[in-house]
Structure 1
Amino acid sequence: MAVRRGAGVRVRLTALAVLVVGLGLVAGGAVALTLVRDQLTGNAEAEARRQAESFAPMISGGLPSVLPPLVQVVARDGTVLGASSELAHTRLLALWPDGGAVKGTSRLPDGEHHAVAGVLASMGGQPVAVFAAVSLEHAEEGVEAATTALSIIVPILLVAVGGTSWLVVGRALRPVEAIRERVTEITASQLSRRVPEPPADDEVGRLARTMNEMLARLEEVHDRQRRFAADAAHELRSPLASLRTRLEIGLAHSSGTDWVRLAGDLHREAVRLGDLTDELIVLALADGVTEPVGWVDLDEVVLAEIDAVRTRGVVDVELSPFSAARMRGRAGELSRVVRNLLDNAEHHARHRITVGLWSAERFAELVVADDGPGVPDSDRTKVFERFFRSQRARERDSGGAGLGLAIVREVTERHGGLVWLADSAEGACFHVRLPLAVEPSA
């Protein structure tokens, strides 16, 4: 299916910057033109009023023979009593200055707009109005000049804004493009490579560091899976080879083979192979757990697993000290932690297992100790590794696959806890500390 490609981020951001700035410049230009027009028109109206006020005292005794340009005298009934030659047949304003002065605009016969102001005067004892007009040609020329200037400046500014935005956005996205190119080069066999991290502590820098942290986790998981596959193949090869060898020998010497004894040997190997397969499945599903998280009474889980050990009657189990502990977690996984610790202790104990459980304000701690031979100092840091078995365990038929304690560590860490082998006067003493309020990770 074809992938639809729209405008890139660089294009969209540049267009957005040009659009926003363009709208701002247009709105600002309109406001500026309005202010210029109002200012120039107001100046013309003020000049017209000044001329009218300066002429009004001159008609108190009667009209002069010649009136100044663009001046008109109007009676109360609207009759034009006198006007300059260009205003002989035109009434400037239909208003009467009752409150003092009036103002407005008018178009004269020559087609030009004029600002008009009128004031009240007295001629021969009768009230009259004196109107004066001032051309708005200069105001219109000023507005036209401002409009021309804006029509030139605005496109230049928009081009400058667009070019600057294009360069700035391109520079800002350059690390993102470098990250993209590096990610396309990384394959499953090159997880050790990292994306370039820009020095700035901004969104792009944090993205690069987050991706490198993700790549580090993927590399760790990939390495673990590869080691797991190699170790699993190695461990499975031994019981399968034993089964095949014994069957081939039995078939080659069928007349002299004790088939009942061979069946018993094969059964033991099959049980060992089944146990190993179960533990491998647990580890393989460790990163894809689906069991829901809920409240778990850890003390009840421990007591249930202890009952299974006591039922077998191989060793005695003592509780010291032991108290209730309730936490958030996955009951099935926590049961396996307890079961594996008890199985390990039962396997190595001579006569007795001691189990302790207590809770503090923020964590619960489980202790499983045995009176066995203990763990050699050289193996203390290895007991939680997958498929590790001490030489002493390898010499025993039920030595296990070396996965029990590895499962304990992985489940405990997934619940946000810690597991360690503590010093002990005799035997081995395992401690598991689990937080009471932290949700386990998926």
Structure 2
Amino acid sequence: MRGRTTLGATVVVAVALLIGSFSFYGVLRSSMHENTVRAAEQRLEQLSDRTGGPGGRGIDALDDEILQLIGPDGSVRAASEDAREKLGSTPLPIDDDPQTTTVDGDAVLVVSEELDDDRTLVLAVAIDDDAETLATVATLLAIAVPLLLLLVAVTTWLVVGRALRPVERIREEVDGITAERLHQRVPVPETADEIAALATTMNGMLDRLDAAATAQRRFVSDASHELRSPLATIRQHAELAQAHPEVTSIGELAEVVSEEGLRLQGIVESLLLLARLDEGASTRGEAVDLDDIALGEVRRLRAAGLDVDGSGIAAARVHADPRLLGQLVRNLADNAVRHSRGRVAIGVVPADGHVFVMVEDDGAGVPLEERERIFERFVRLDEARSRDTGGSGLGLAIARGIAVSAGGTLMVDDSRWSGARFVLALPVAP
């Protein structure tokens, strides 16, 4: 990575330097040419005032000037000493625009001015100095650009290496962290820069992975225990019936197998639902009358001979999966019946853009320090109660999972009878 970064930075700088060098050279060349043309035209104007009279008086006496007076027929009427020596009777080229040519092997810039009597005064100015200056600049650029590129490459190599050294240490540390070593963390440098932020973020990710792995191991362990219990019961009764057929009847064995099989089925279905909720699987959403679901639970519990207060149910509609929402309310109702001493209340109250479903009982309630733990999987606060009445410990975990998937919340506090009150909050359907 260090080499790629250095190469990339060097290429970028090289392109920038080349573009800058060519641009500088082009601007300098254009500027020098314009200055030479301007100076030549000014000089020609001065010479025109001095030598533009009849016969080109004074041109022959000029020295260090390549100047010609050319007649309308294109012949040289008068010329300076240098012009006669270098050109003889050959006229300089005449053009409205300045042009470059060679005189006696030297590069010159030729400018011309037409006089009033159709004669033309032509001046050639040497441009060797300009060429030498441009050659010197080109040589300096050819030497400076590679040296500067080398300096940039070395500097980038050292700076990038120093900057990426903590990243390499982080990479080595993370590369050594396996599923069995998720407790390890990446050292955070005391630089308070992006590298430190990267290390902090990496440690946060490792914390979440460690927590997820721990929860998964605990979940697998608890699930194995829950599944092993009904299987062990079925096996014990089967072995007893096999060893002592006179003691255990076929009907009794079938009843035990049926009950434990239903319990197994319920646990497996609950685990599958939790797995689907954990994966964030999208649920079928539609407008649901929450009061109808609540009233259905009231009627079901009353049919079982329970005292259920449904007077607090008001009309309310939410957007959710009706099957999952029905299971959520049923789990809360069954939990309330399981822990009540005889009174259960179910209420539905719309307020402030939300619908609140309250299920409360007159049982022992939930201690403050346990009010989040009860939503964990396979958690039973009353470890001594029988599994037949205590459930599998998945009902409340499923209820909260469904609530979160529907965009709501589920919490517990004290009921009006000092028992437990579960409050489900869902957004009102648009």
Q: Give the TM-score range, shorter chain.
A: 0.7 to 0.9
Q: 1:361 aligned to 352, 368, 374, which one?
A: 352
Q: How many Å separate the matches in 2 of 1:15 and 1:61?
A: 64
Letter in 2 for 1:31: V
Q: How many Å separate the matches in 2 of 1:267 and 1:29?
A: 94
Q: How many Å separate the matches in 1 of 2:188 and 2:144?
A: 41
> Cα–Cα, structure 1 residues 316 and 43, in superposed 2: closer, same or farther, change >3 Å?
same
Letter in 2 for 1:404: G
What residue ranges of structure 2 are gaps of 5+ in the alignment? none
How far the C-alpha of 1:152 sits from its partner, in A, is 1.7
1:89 paired to 2:81? no
Partner of 2:421: 429
Q: 1:290 aligned to 269, 278, 281, which one?
A: 281
Partner of 1:47: 43
How far the C-alpha of 1:317 sits from its partner, in A, is 3.0
Partner of 1:160: 151
Partner of 1:99: none
What residue ranges of structure 1 are gaps of 5+ in the alignment? 96-101
CA contact (8 A) 1:364 1:436 kept: yes
Q: How many Å separate the matches in 2 of 1:210 and 1:232?
A: 32
Q: How many Å separate the matches in 2 of 1:109 and 1:11?
A: 49
> Cα–Cα, structure 1 residues 186 and 331, in superposed 2: closer, same or farther, change >3 Å?
farther
1:346 paired to 2:342? no
How far the C-alpha of 1:110 sits from its partner, in A, is 1.0
Partner of 2:13: 17
Q: Normalised by the size of structure 2, how large is the TM-score?
A: 0.82
Q: 1:327 aligned to 318, 335, 350, which one?
A: 318
The SS at the match of 2:214 is: helix
CA contact (8 A) 2:312 2:349 kept: yes
RMSD across aligned positions (CA): 3.5
Q: How many Å separate the matches in 2 of 1:161 and 1:354?
A: 77
How far the C-alpha of 1:343 sits from its partner, in A, is 1.1
Letter in 2 for 1:30: G
Q: Which moved more, 1:384-393 or 1:225-234?
A: 384-393
Q: How many Å separate the matches in 1 of 2:203 and 2:368?
A: 37
In percent, how many aligned pairs have the same letter?
36
Q: How many Å separate the matches in 2 of 1:284 and 1:170?
A: 45
Letter in 2 for 1:370: D
The number of equivalent residue pairs is: 420
Q: Which moved more, 1:248-257 or 1:218-227?
A: 248-257
> Cα–Cα, structure 1 residues 259 and 147, in superposed 2: closer, same or farther, change >3 Å?
closer
Q: How many Å separate the matches in 2 of 1:205 and 1:244?
A: 57
Q: Normalised by the size of structure 1, how large is the TM-score?
A: 0.80
Q: 1:38 aligned to 34, 39, 53, which one?
A: 34
Letter in 2 for 1:92: L
> Cα–Cα, structure 1 residues 49 and 244, in superposed 2: closer, same or farther, change >3 Å?
same
Partner of 2:216: 225
The SS at the match of 1:278 is: helix
Partner of 2:409: 417
Letter in 1 for 2:425: R
Partner of 1:78: 74
How far the C-alpha of 1:341 sits from its partner, in A, is 0.6
CA contact (8 A) 1:321 1:357 kept: yes
Q: How many Å separate the matches in 1 of 2:266 and 2:132?
A: 99
The within-5 A match list for 1:103-142 is 104-105=98-99, 107=101, 109-119=103-113, 128-142=119-133
The SS at the match of 2:148 is: helix
